[in-house]
Amino acid sequence: MNRLSPAPLAIILLISAFTVNASQELHRDAMSLVKQFGATLKPQLIQAMKLGGPENAIDVCAVKAPQIARELSGKSGWSIRRVSLKNRNAGAVADAWERSVLEEFESQLASGKPAKALERGELIDGEYRFMKAQVTAPLCLKCHGSNLPRPLLEKIKVHYPDDLALGYQAGEIRGAFSLSFKAE
């Protein structure tokens, strides 16, 4: 009487297999975009630091980083931004999900997970969300560390009066790339 016919079960299995597959594909796309972002930004940052020190390189972070994010977003249809628990750019405040993922990254890092492996992808309400941690390297301390030279600090304060992104140490999580894609 109440026997479940195999058809609905097959459909459920098919849908979940499809979802897993789609998620894997979205995960791969997100990873590739993060790679492109880093590969475009970092050489420009290093070059600008070489040419004119951190004061010169501020513009790379302030202008180029958002520009790269916009270009990659435009090309791919993904929304791409950077977020932090202690943000410099007022637009880089983490939302509730991003905050919980950043906190999770911090506890994973503390319990020995390699920095490079700190990432998370999740399908939420038809939207695929992905985050990858950005860990503080020695180079980053020039602008995100402690005891910055006064002229540099002043330049930062002019652009970012509410800057919270100072006082970091190498190895700490500076923030993360945060991507999302409307999967439906």
Q: Chain centroid to CA 49: how far?
A: 22
Using CA atoms, how far apart are residues 26 and 35, in angstroms rounded to an integer? 14
Interface positions, 85-114, toward ligand HEC (CB under 6 A): 87-89, 92
What is the smallest separation between the CB atom of 80 and ligand HEC, expressed in angstroms? 12
Question: Interacting stretch for ligand HEC, rule CB under 6 A, among 55-63, 71-79, 103-111, 121-129?
Answer: 55-63
Helix (H, G, I), strand (E, B) or coil at 164: coil
Using rule CB under 6 A, residue 66 touches ligand HEC: yes
The single residue among 31, 139, 166, 183 that binds ligand HEC, judged by CB under 6 A, is 139
The single residue among 33, 84, 101, 131 that binds ligand HEC, judged by CB under 6 A, is 84
Residue 142 or 183: the one with the smaller Cβ distance to ligand HEC is 142
Question: Interacting stretch for ligand HEC, rule CB under 6 A, among 6-14, 60-68, 95-103, 108-116?
Answer: 60-68
The single residue among 132, 174, 178, 179 that binds ligand HEC, judged by CB under 6 A, is 174
Instruction: Write out the chain in H/E/C secondary structure.
Output: CCCCCHHHHHHHHHHHHHHHHHHHHHHHHHHHHHHHHHHHHHHHHHHHHHHHHHHHHHHHHHHHHHHHHHHHHHHHCCEEEEEECCCCCHHHECCHHHHHHHHHHHHHHHCCCCHHHCEEEEEECCEEEEEEEEECCHHHHHHHCCCCCHHHHHHHHHHCCCCCCCCCCCCCEEEEEEEEEECC
Using CA atoms, how far apart are residues 165 and 150, in angstroms rounded to an integer? 16
Residue 11 or 52: the one with the smaller Cβ distance to ligand HEC is 52
The single residue among 30, 58, 85, 173 that binds ligand HEC, judged by CB under 6 A, is 58
Residue 15 or 74: the one with the smaller Cβ distance to ligand HEC is 74
**Residues in contact with ligand HEC by the rule CB under 6 A:** 45, 54, 57-58, 61-62, 65-66, 82, 84, 87-89, 92, 134, 136-137, 139-140, 142-144, 165, 174-175
